[in-house]
Every structure is written in C-alpha cells, then in structure tokens.
Amino acid sequence: MKKDTLKTIEELKNLKKEIKTYKNQKQAINYLVEKTKLSEKECESIYDFLIGSKTDKENKNTTNNVFKTILFYCVVSLTGIVVLPTLGIIAPVFILCAFICPIAGIIHFISGIFGFDLPFVSFQFGNMTLNPFLGLVVGIIIGVILYFIGKGSWKLLLLYINKIKEKKESLGI
C-alpha cells in the first residue's frame, strides 16, 4: 500500500461511511479504486477490513444459531438417552411377545385337551391357574394388547426420530 493513501483513523471512519452508502460491494470497491488509486485486490481487502463480510445483524444471527445448536444437541442427547433405548427395545419386544403369547395359549389349550400339564406354559395369576380354554382366550387378548402397544411404541419412535430430523434441518445443522 502507498504510505500517504490513508493517513488517519478519522479518514478511515469517513471512508467507511462513504463505502456504506453504496448498495453493493462491487460499486464500493470501484469507488475505493478511484479514491485511493490502489489495485482492485487491495481495495477488496480494505473493503473486507472496513465493512467485513458479514453485517452486525448476520453476526448476531450466527451467535443465536450457535446457541440454538448447542441447546438442540443438549436436549436431543438428554432425551435420546431415555427415549431411543426405551422405545427401541419396547417396540420389537412387545410385538414379538404379541405373537408368543397366543402360541403359548394354544400350547396350553392343546395340552389341556390331551390331559397333560406343561409346567412352563401356563397362565397363572397369584395362586390361581387358569383352565386351558380361558388361558387361550387370555393369551389372545394379551397378544392383541401387546401388539398394539408395540406398534404404538414403534410409531412413537419413528415420530421422535422424524421430529428431531425436521428440527435439525430447520436449524440448518
């Protein structure tokens, strides 16, 4: 840079005010080239130094985005510790048990028809053991209930994941 081009801080302040009056960067740089007699590349550096690549409002939005990003990841990590494993385990296990429970009821019913008792396949509430036909009905009812609970848990898991994905995309991270 030439030594006598920009001498004082006051001149820099005035130059910054003049540059801000231009609507776009190219016009401001052309003005700087005419005024300072420097190359276009040097004037771009001066422009970036005086104005900066971002305005104050953009810098404020960037700061807000950083805080939003930090808050997003804190909330997601804390809820993810509980929600993801719980729903991820409950959903498939309940659906699996929904199919096992009626099968156990059928096995208990068939064993009751043929007159023998399988000790590990029975429906017992406290000291009361259900008869084979009632065990079949209860097994089917419990299987249906477990299936709907498992299906609902799976839908909640997918809903949670999609909401997190949408929020992440809306924050632009």
Domain ranges of the chain: 9-50, 56-171
pTM: 0.59
Question: Interhelix angle for 25-36 vs 9-20, to 10°?
Answer: 140
Give per-residue pLDDT as tens, 5-51: 555 777 777 777 777 777 777 777 788 778 777 787 887 777 777 77
Question: Quick one: CA dihedral 99, 104, 107, 110, positive or negative?
Answer: negative
CA separation, residue 35 to residues 3, 19, 24, 40, 74 (Å): 14, 11, 17, 12, 51
Give per-residue pLDDT as tens, 88-140: 999 999 999 999 999 989 988 898 888 887 777 777 778 887 888 888 999 99
